[in-house]
Structure 1
């Protein structure tokens, strides 16, 4: 099957799946914390640790995927189909949690399945897109996460209003059902694609050697180490912000409707970010482009220290516009440029493992900041990680500032 433009049925359904993979299964947790705390109990720092459990599952999934795909290269579509369906079902199951341990187990399982789905959906969808339009396609897919946040925010009064004790349960069940529908839709538009043929032992041996070189490529300071490091610190920073922003707003007595509108503002701005970021990385495929978005996002996070709802809201919208979807989609696009096609899935999975590691560390550090200095300091601490991510992305841009550096050899 020939390649297609960035706007096609596959990227549309992939975007809908990312609303589930990113917006619902991962980031909606921060929106639900006040309701979960009222019904199940636990402190915000303890509930933040449950978020860390989710990312431990996510990390394990990203580490397990490369050998699994290498062992069954012709079964990539089957693995994706199963994990996307199981992700939706796990979200439905988590809505029936009555104890923190039970909820933690579901968060772990959801993290595990979402890791598989993140890499596989991106890999399968981008395979059908023309190389020159993959940045735009990545933006279209990642903006599904923004759409998921937007939809979650619109239901904030139903989810976090104290009078609706089980609102978060019904919302999670609805999100899980939507996930199952999106998984079926994605399978229908990709099911007619021919799976990769079984490789010979010689080809498998060559691919194994190339995979080792990809690991060296991502971790070598003269190659992509700074891009990988930027992705790691971004993971730490953004997840702190998204975990503790709503609890902070609720603690300030902001009505649930306004808190939801701020949350939706992030998602609405992210809809434009997905498209603009994709166009930008196609035109300026550089670490400087990534660093710009991260730097502006750092400024947006600092807005929470102003103790003014308007400034906090503007900061949140800034994050949604320039540094929520931008880092993942730009990292995805830059890796597409720097690594061989056959090694992309393993390479993206390894980079995502570093991203997941950052998301594990972030809530722990943020939780410590919350316990010692309050929710405002916890949210603001994400600016430190975002600034480091921006700096490392800038170093990557400096390293590959010449056109001749844009194609990176896999070997030494």
Structure 2
């Protein structure tokens, strides 16, 4: 790298974090918060609205699958692809605010999912490239922290979004988020343009067939990353059910929108510490067991809904925000960055993100079906099943890591 490594705290990390407020907090998770307002104005059952969430993640999956061949065809253009993706993502948020029916909103949600997938992988890849290897977990934590900021901000404005008196509040919110995202993309472009990357993108993404075979052998080997991918898949399945149907559950139970918004903001506020804690933890203990601990505590947090007590539900939400909202993505990113060969890291992260996206596609479908059949409470609680499965796979990955480490020591 031409200019040497930077610490985790730098301008690129800061602008990356602001972009992740758009990529994660605004474009993806705000949908669950705005669901009551969208339903009031556009109509539809929770099953139908859940399908719109699924359309978003289908776009996300398509984006992750398109990224490796896209980069390989446009060598040395990773920054350009990211710039276009972020700008179109912001414009997609603005465009979705003008939706009047399901098909129109569904098309915008697909577009938003597609470009947020490209931006997720590229922003992380570009930003962590310049960070010292020992601090890349912390840098990932700071970047993913932006998603928590996005949730915190949207939660604070919830009374102006989901109250029946503010029928079009979700429209104004999405327009504002889109404008913010475009400004963040411009800031990220300015600070990254000053950096000179010595390693070419063609080295990172060889189109050689043999290397591609090795990449997938690496990812799908039980002794390498298979269980980590499984954990990421079930996390995507579980967390998206919780975030899609938590606010509708609270509103349906008569919780005032102000308090529902505060609970949502509580998740985001706790997530601010999650990025710090998770990043430090994975740098110090780069293991699947570290990941599994956060997922297990998050599973317990989801179960707070079963108590029918607002305080315990709120504490459970804060626990999820503190240890298992940002933690799995940032730890998966950091583990791949640490153990995957640098030349194929972007491909590995893209495939892992595709597994995450696949879980998020299934989640709203399953969650919507459960809600329609058994009610919102059981629907939200069902996310704990998949969070627990995610924790189990993370433990299996940690066990494989330990076995390999002991084997190397005995050689």
Check whether TM > 0.5. Answer: yes
Aligned counterpart for 2:40 among listed residues 34, 38, 41 = 38
- Long gaps (5+) in structure 2: none
Q: Could you say if the C-alpha distance between residues 204 and 242 of structure 1 is closer, same or farther in structure 2, counting changes exceeding 3 Å?
A: closer
TM-superposed deviation, 1:209: 2.4
- What SS class does the counterpart of residue 73 from structure 1 fall into? coil
Give the whole-Å Cα distance in 2 for the aligned partners of 1:406 and 1:27: 42
Q: Quote the residue 1:113 is aligned against.
A: 115
Q: Could you say if the C-alpha distance between residues 166 and 234 of structure 1 is closer, same or farther in structure 2, counting changes exceeding 3 Å?
A: same
Instruction: Tell me, yes or no, if the aligned pair for 1:146 and 1:270 is still in contact at 8 Å.
Output: yes
Q: Could you say if the C-alpha distance between residues 205 and 44 of structure 1 is closer, same or farther in structure 2, counting changes exceeding 3 Å?
A: closer
1:142 aligned to 2:144?
A: yes
Q: Quote the residue 1:163 is aligned against.
A: 165
Give the whole-Å Cα distance in 1 for the aligned partners of 2:343 and 2:56: 29
- What SS class does the counterpart of residue 74 from structure 1 fall into? coil
TM-superposed deviation, 1:332: 0.3
- Long gaps (5+) in structure 1: 408-412
- What SS class does the counterpart of residue 193 from structure 1 fall into? coil
TM-superposed deviation, 1:338: 1.5
Give the whole-Å Cα distance in 2 for the aligned partners of 1:269 and 1:225: 30
Instruction: Tell me, yes or no, if the aligned pair for 1:338 and 1:406 is still in contact at 8 Å.
Output: no
**Residues 251-299 of structure 1, C-alpha deviation per residue, up to 9 Å, x if partnerless?**
0010000000000000000000000000000000000000000000000
Instruction: Tell me, yes or no, if the aligned pair for 1:159 and 1:168 is still in contact at 8 Å.
Output: yes
Instruction: Tell me, yes or no, if the aligned pair for 2:72 and 2:202 is still in contact at 8 Å.
Output: no
- What SS class does the counterpart of residue 255 from structure 2 fall into? coil
Q: Quote the residue 2:366 is aligned against.
A: 365
TM-superposed deviation, 1:204: 4.1
Give the whole-Å Cα distance in 2 for the aligned partners of 1:47 and 1:258: 23
Q: Quote the residue 2:287 is aligned against.
A: 286
- What SS class does the counterpart of residue 296 from structure 2 fall into? helix
TM-superposed deviation, 1:123: 0.1
The normalised TM-score by structure 2 is 0.96
Give the whole-Å Cα distance in 1 for the aligned partners of 2:81 and 2:193: 12
Q: Quote the residue 1:322 is aligned against.
A: 323
Q: Could you say if the C-alpha distance between residues 285 and 107 of structure 1 is closer, same or farther in structure 2, counting changes exceeding 3 Å?
A: same
TM-superposed deviation, 1:197: 4.4
Q: Quote the residue 2:71 is aligned against.
A: 69
Correspondences of 1:184-223 after superposition (within 5 Å): 184-194=186-196, 196-197=199-200, 204=206, 206=208, 208-223=209-224
Correspondences of 1:48-127 after superposition (within 5 Å): 48-127=50-129
Give the whole-Å Cα distance in 2 for the aligned partners of 1:211 and 1:128: 25
The normalised TM-score by structure 1 is 0.96
**Residues 33-88 of structure 1, C-alpha deviation per residue, up to 9 Å, x if partnerless?**
00000001101111011000000000000000011112223000000000000000
Instruction: Tell me, yes or no, if the aligned pair for 1:243 and 1:363 is still in contact at 8 Å.
Output: yes
Equivalent pairs counted in the alignment come to 404
1:351 aligned to 2:368?
A: no
Q: Quote the residue 1:410 is aligned against.
A: none
RMSD between aligned alpha carbons?
A: 1.5
1:252 aligned to 2:289?
A: no
Instruction: Tell me, yes or no, if the aligned pair for 1:54 and 1:104 is still in contact at 8 Å.
Output: yes
Q: Could you say if the C-alpha distance between residues 205 and 164 of structure 1 is closer, same or farther in structure 2, counting changes exceeding 3 Å?
A: closer
Give the whole-Å Cα distance in 2 for the aligned partners of 1:223 and 1:198: 24
Give the whole-Å Cα distance in 1 for the aligned partners of 2:224 and 2:81: 31
Correspondences of 1:224-243 after superposition (within 5 Å): 224-243=225-244
Q: Quote the residue 2:402 is aligned against.
A: 401
Q: Could you say if the C-alpha distance between residues 71 and 97 of structure 1 is closer, same or farther in structure 2, counting changes exceeding 3 Å?
A: same
TM-superposed deviation, 1:222: 2.0
Q: Quote the residue 1:10 is aligned against.
A: 12
Q: Quote the residue 1:342 is aligned against.
A: 343
Q: Could you say if the C-alpha distance between residues 362 and 199 of structure 1 is closer, same or farther in structure 2, counting changes exceeding 3 Å?
A: closer
Q: Quote the residue 1:378 is aligned against.
A: 379
Give the whole-Å Cα distance in 1 for the aligned partners of 2:217 and 2:388: 26
